[in-house]
Amino acid sequence: MPESTVSFNRHRCDFAVFPQECVASVIHSGQFLPLFLHVEFAATCSMTNARCPISNDVSRAADILRSGGLVAFGTETVYGLGANALNEQAVARVFEAKDRPHFDPLIVHIADRKWLDRLAEQLSPAAKLLADEFWPGPLTLVLPKKEIVPDLVTSGLPSVAIRMPNHPLALELLTLVDLPIAAPSANPFGKISPTTAQHVLDNLGDRIDFILDGGPCDVGVESTVVLMTEDRPRILRHGGVTQEQLEAVIGPVEFHSSEFNEEISNSDSHAVAGDASQGTPSGAVAPGMLAQHYSPTTPLVLASEASDASVSGKRVGLLRLSKSSTVGDDFPELAAVETLSDDGDLRIAAAEFFAALRRLDSSGLDLILAESFPEEGLGRALNDRLRRACHQ
Ligand code: TXA
Ligand code: MG
């Protein structure tokens, strides 16, 4: 290697602000080459252009949000990609960073109920019961919106989705910034959701301003989304609060079937994307529930639907619920196995699910087989993610 000189450049001040980010430059063969080193993360960072600072500095994160920047932050469900929900330019950057179609509205995160009154019309008795019972927590309520919420956030819908996350650092951030924060999951649109700061760094590190590291997410699947704008509540997305838990508080709750959205995702989904003035396709109450989502790059199929022929000659990996699962017995030549929980505990399985799928996806496999979950409790949310991840 020719002789090189290493020197810190003008970014030295960043070093003082973010102790874990050290930005250096290399003068190599007379050329000036910037070199970005994340000292704490250098060993594990899998993207060379991931230059976004990571820390647990809440004040720094709040400053960035206040000035219209994008901050990914940990919640109890998955990492969110946050922006000031009242700043349309900041919200537009969220859609851009994720390559998210504009027909898919964002969840607004709050820590203080005063924002609920400012953003949404008065709560129905059922909505109030649910907020009282499950907030802070993995429940999102879709409520009639007030004028103050930009159309860009709601994709032109007359409703706004609101949630109060149950994560100490996220709540501290929301309290400090004292703004409603629009935050979809911090993954490129349609891809596997992030449950660690490293996942966000790997996927969006070169597109966002800061990652507030809240550690690995405890719940591991997204919030349950419940539509509260009609006479009867409807679950639009299964998630961290189970249907059983909801029904124990407000009685029977239907699940919204997403056949309509299947049609959208089977056509060219980006054909209906555009600015918020285009709104959502008429009749879509759950515009984001597309048949294909959470997708690994490696083809994924349900183990129950795989045949000898479909695995023959391939490097195959298996995602299974527990050590006692027999699903792998039919496929003896497995190149990798991820077990979500020793004894099939669905809460542990949910917390591990996305990270395990990512590990399999980066194991150089030709095919991933996955075991279905019992269709109860968190198993419903996991089966939903699995079905969409399998959809080609
Ligand atoms: O746990 C979560 O909910 C995470 C964390 C970051 O809070 N967020 C999350 O956001 O999963 P996202 O954007 O990946 O999913 C939000 C879902 C989308 O499917 C979207 O279509 C739906 O909520 N949604 C948002 N606003 C809506 C509205 N007004 N009406 C119907 N669905 C809405
Ligand atoms: Mg998402």
Least confident window among 99-113, 158-172, 286-300: 286-300
Domains in the chain: boundaries? 4-43, 55-278, 300-390
- The pLDDT score that the predictor gives to residue 287 is 81
> 184 CA distance to ligand 1 centroid (A)?
6
At the topology level of CATH, where does 300-390 sit?
Answer: Rossmann fold (3.40.50)
CB-based contact 199:217 (threshold 8 Å): no
Question: CA angle 99-370-245, nearest 5°?
Answer: 80
Residue 258's pLDDT band (boundaries 50, 70, 90)?
low
Order of strands across the sheet with 21-28? 4-8, 21-28, 31-38
CB-based contact 144:50 (threshold 8 Å): no
Q: Is 78 exposed, middle or buried (0-12, 13-18, 19+ CB in 10 A)?
A: buried
Closest approach atom of ligand 1 to CA 225: 23
Q: Is the CB of 161 under 6 A from ligand 1?
A: yes
- The pLDDT score that the predictor gives to residue 257 is 74
pLDDT above 90: residue 2: no
- The yes-or-no answer to whether 55-278 and 300-390 have a common fold is no
- The pLDDT score that the predictor gives to residue 284 is 67
Mind giving me the DSSP string for 94-147?
Answer: HHHHHT--TTS--EEE-SSHHHHHHHBPPPPHHHHHHHHHH-SSSEEEEEEBPT
Residue for token digits 């699903």?
327
CA torsion, ordered 247, 249, 251, 256, to nearest 10 deg: -50
Rounded to whole angstroms, the Cα distance separating 138 from 126 reads: 17
- pLDDT, tens digit (0-9, with 9 covering 90-100), for 171-220: 999 999 999 999 999 999 999 999 999 999 999 999 999 999 999 999 99
Q: Is the CB of 261 under 6 A from ligand 1?
A: no
Rounded to whole angstroms, the Cα distance separating 94 from 184 reads: 8
- pLDDT, tens digit (0-9, with 9 covering 90-100), for 268-325: 333 333 344 444 444 467 787 888 888 999 999 999 999 888 999 999 999 999 999 9
Least confident window among 7-11, 49-53, 156-160, 328-332: 7-11
Closest approach atom of ligand 1 to CA 193: 14
Nearest CA to ligand 1 atom 13: 184
- The pLDDT score that the predictor gives to residue 51 is 78
Closest approach atom of ligand 1 to CA 138: 1
Residue 391's pLDDT band (boundaries 50, 70, 90)?
confident
Q: Is the peptide bond before 136 cis (omega within 30 degrees of 0)?
A: yes
- The pLDDT score that the predictor gives to residue 282 is 41
**Three-class DSSP category at 240:** coil
Q: Which value, in Å, is the radius of gyration of the alpha carbons in the chain?
A: 22
Q: Is the CB of 229 under 6 A from ligand 1?
A: no
User: What are the helix (H) ranges across the chain?
Assistant: 12-17, 58-66, 88-98, 113-119, 125-134, 151-154, 168-177, 197-204, 243-250, 259-266, 308-311, 346-361, 378-390
**C-alpha dist (Å) from residue 272 to 43, 103, 328:** 41, 7, 41
CB-based contact 28:4 (threshold 8 Å): yes
- pLDDT, tens digit (0-9, with 9 covering 90-100), for 361-374: 999 999 999 999 99
Mind giving me the DSSP string for 148-208?
Answer: TS-HHHHTT-SEEEEE----HHHHHHHHHHTS-EE--BSSSTTBPPP-SHHHHHHHHTTT-
- The pLDDT score that the predictor gives to residue 13 is 28
Nearest CA to ligand 1 atom 18: 288
Residue 31's pLDDT band (boundaries 50, 70, 90)?
very low
Q: What is the pTM of this model?
A: 0.85
Q: What percent of the chain has pLDDT over 70?
A: 80
How confident is the model over 61-75, as a mean pLDDT?
98
At the topology level of CATH, where does 55-278 sit?
Answer: DHBP synthase (3.90.870)
- The pLDDT score that the predictor gives to residue 50 is 54
DSSP 329: G
Residue 330's pLDDT band (boundaries 50, 70, 90)?
confident
pLDDT above 80: residue 67: yes
- The pLDDT score that the predictor gives to residue 271 is 32
Q: Is the CB of 286 under 6 A from ligand 1?
A: yes
Rounded to whole angstroms, the Cα distance separating 84 from 173 reads: 12
Closest approach atom of ligand 1 to CA 240: 1
Q: Is the dihedral of CA 387, 299, 340, 77 positive or negative?
A: negative
Beta bridge partners of 31: 28
CB-based contact 141:224 (threshold 8 Å): no
